């Protein structure tokens, strides 16, 4: 029987299979958090007098055993058991009898799954933040290491002005500070306790929601019981927005890498074992890793929209539609973590090419420098622009000392603001009450 069944009646097998969907697969990701929530809930029930000392101690003992089984990988959801919540309650009832039947007092599966998901998302966001920090630090280190190696800058995919690997790596590092800001904001939204809201309308029992909020380490609670349930789906969408922004950053970065690895650019290289081959062309070294990160990153940008459409025009209260948020978001979280980890590993072995701008095709990349030189000699900018432009049109343009660049303002070739970018990240990481 299901925990919601009142007699021996059963649901049609086809209905049960359809409604359960992929929940058993994703519920295993929630197992440890379901036990955490149950421990806090049972302790609170004891405090308010709904469980006696013996019942509470028995439930605590068995919940900790279940937690150990989950961590060791020996825990599973039995065939025919509807979800992780039912499995934990079933085990507790087998082992503790009536005490196990009391664990559900004052809660619904609605607030149970909501707190499980919040605990899961909170932990996953912290793992993602750590991976982002590692990539950020690596990019800044590469920026400093290669700050004097010049690189062509492009606008409209046309050769534009001199850049450097210092600027290029540093740009992606600073982009990650904005992404981190969104991750921190998402974590603040996640870090609110819905437990005790029941099915969305509270409970007649004297529950102590402040106690479970503190026990589970939440920043605060979802105060309104109706909103605690309305927050389901909205919370996931906020997380998805942060993930989508990060996905956009790594996708664009990997697009640059794919271009820069190609023979027509040849700016960066990776060891052969970081590339794949062709079944017909023996010379090929394909950047499949970076193409897949690009594709997965772009898919991440679609997440908020998919979650928004899922919830379009839903009234208040819980609806089974919310079950699908797990199969949209959970695999995407794993993809994002894998992408961040493998990108970090790849950048450990990147090689950058020196003397790129000595190639004849970049002869005009210093035209702006020549205009600026004339301005420094007293010409107006417009006059200098015309003079240099005419020399280019007449094939007379020539510049001596092509690498003698003296850019000093903040964020330029000679002033990367690495320390300032690092400080911006540190401010985010030092935020309190996340």
Is 163 in the active site?
Answer: no
**165 three-class SS:** helix
As a whole number of angstroms, the distance between CA 237 and CA 303 comes to 8
Annotation marks residue 278 as catalytic: yes
Q: Give pLDDT, residue 434.
A: 45
Count Cβ neighbours within 10 Å for each residue of 337-362 and write b for 16 or more, e otherwise: eebbeebbebbeebebeeebbeeeee
Q: Which tokens in the block code for residue 53? A: 């000392």
pLDDT at 8: 59
The strand pairing partners of 268, in sequence order, are 352
CB 229 within 8 A of CB 200: yes
The Cα–Cα gap between 103 and 112 comes to 11
d(CA 381, CA 259): 34
Exactly one of 156, 279, 283, 409 is catalytic; which is it?
156
The rounded distance, in Å, linking the Cα atoms of 285 and 277 is: 5
Beta bridge partners of 193: 221
**pLDDT confidence of residue 225:** 94
110-140 per-residue burial string, b: 16 or more CB within 10 A, e: under 16: bbbbbbbbbbbbbebbeebbebbbebbebbb
Quick one: which of 361, 354, 399 has its CA closest to 150? 354
What's this model's pTM, rounded to 2 decimal places?
0.92
Structural domains in the chain plus CATH codes: 13-105 (1.10.275.10), 117-146+165-204+224-358+420-429 (1.20.200.10), 360-393 (no CATH)
Q: Write out the two tokens for 54.
A: 């013996």
Of 10, 76, 262, 278, which one is the catalytic site residue? 278
- The angle formed by the CA atoms of residues 290, 301 and 419, to the nearest 5 degrees, is 70
Cα 238 to Cα 9, 184, 235, 244, 293, distances in angstroms: 40, 11, 5, 10, 22
Give mean pLDDT in consecutive 10-residue pieces for the chain, a chain of 434 residues.
56 76 85 97 97 97 98 93 92 96 94 96 97 98 96 94 95 98 96 95 95 98 94 94 98 97 94 85 87 97 95 88 92 98 98 93 90 92 94 86 74 90 92 50
Positive or negative torsion for Cα 135, 137, 138, 144: positive
Residue keyed to tokens 């996931």: 236
Task: Please answer whether residues 2 and 82 qualify as being in contact, where contact means their C-beta atoms are separated by less than 8 angstroms.
Answer: yes
User: What pLDDT is stored for residue 432 in this prediction?
Assistant: 47
Spatial CA neighbour of 401 closest among 357, 433, 361: 357
* Separation between Cα atoms, residue 380 and residue 374, nearest integer Å: 8
pLDDT at 24: 80
pLDDT of residue 224: 96
Measured CA to CA, the distance from residue 208 to residue 212 in angstroms comes to: 7
DSSP secondary-structure letter at 362? G
Please state, in angstroms and rounded to a whole number, the distance separating the CA atoms of residues 104 and 23. 20
Task: Assign residue 105 a region (left: φ > 0; alpha: ψ between -120 and 50; beta: otherwise).
Answer: beta
Q: Are 172 and 131 in contact (CB under 8 A)?
A: no
Can you give the pLDDT at residue 433?
Answer: 45
* Residue 74 CB contacts under 8 Å (≥ 6 apart), including other chains: none
Give the residue from 310, 233, 323, 306 showing the smallest Cα distance to 24.
323
Report d(CA 232, CA 274) in Å as an integer.
41
Closest-CA residue to 336 (of 277, 269, 248, 418): 248
Structure tokens at 282: 């023996």
Q: Which two tokens stand for residue 315?
A: 């009234």
Distance CA 334, CA 26 (A): 12
Is beta strand 192-193 parallel, antiparallel or unpaired with respect to 220-221? parallel
């Amino acid at each position: 029987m299901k925990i919601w069944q009142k007699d021996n009646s059963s649901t049609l097998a086809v209905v049960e299979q359809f409604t359960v969907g992929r929940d058993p697969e994703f519920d295993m990701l929630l197992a440890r958090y379901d036990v955490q929530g149950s421990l806090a809930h049972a302790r609170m029930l004891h405090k308010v007098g709904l469980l006696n000392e013996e019942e509470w101690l028995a439930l605590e003992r068995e919940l900790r055993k279940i937690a150990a089984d989950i961590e060791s990988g020996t825990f599973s959801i039995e065939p025919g058991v509807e979800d992780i919540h039912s499995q934990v309650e079933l085990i507790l009832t087998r082992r503790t009898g009536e005490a196990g039947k009391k664990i559900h007092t004052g809660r619904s599966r609605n607030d149970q799954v909501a707190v499980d998901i919040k605990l899961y998302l909170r932990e996953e966001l912290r793992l993602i933040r750590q991976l982002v920090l590692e990539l950020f630090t690596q990019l800044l280190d590469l920026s400093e290491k290669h700050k004097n190696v010049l690189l062509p800058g492009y606008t409209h995919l046309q050769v534009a002005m001199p850049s450097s690997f210092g600027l290029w790596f540093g740009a992606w590092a600073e982009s990650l500070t904005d992404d981190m800001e969104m991750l921190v904001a998402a974590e603040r939204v996640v870090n609110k306790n819905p437990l005790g809201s029941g099915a969305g309308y509270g409970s007649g029992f004297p529950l102590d929601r402040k106690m479970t909020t503190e026990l589970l380490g939440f920043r605060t609670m979802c105060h309104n019981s109706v909103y605690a349930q309305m927050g389901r789906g909205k919370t996931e969408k906020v997380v998805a927005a942060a993930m989508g922004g990060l996905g956009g950053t790594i996708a664009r970065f990997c697009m640059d890498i794919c271009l820069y690895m190609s023979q027509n650019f040849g700016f960066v290289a990776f060891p052969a074992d970081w590339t794949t081959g062709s079944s017909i062309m023996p010379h090929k070294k394909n950047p499949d890793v970076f193409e897949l990160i690009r594709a997965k990153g772009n898919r991440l940008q679609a997440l908020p929209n998919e979650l928004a459409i899922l919830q379009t025009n839903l009234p208040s209260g819980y609806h089974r539609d919310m079950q699908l948020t797990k199969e949209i978001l959970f695999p995407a979280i794993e993809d994002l973590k894998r992408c961040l980890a493998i990108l970090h590993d790849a950048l450990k072995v990147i090689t950058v090419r020196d003397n790129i701008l000595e190639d004849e095709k970049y002869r005009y990349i210093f035209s702006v420098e020549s205009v600026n030189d004339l301005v420094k000699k007293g010409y107006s900018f417009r006059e200098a622009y015309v003079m240099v432009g005419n020399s280019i049109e007449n094939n007379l343009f020539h510049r001596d000392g092509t690498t003698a660049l003296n850019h000093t303002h903040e964020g330029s070739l000679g002033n990367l603001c690495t320390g300032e970018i690092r400080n911006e990240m540190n401010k985010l990481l030092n935020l309190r009450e996340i």
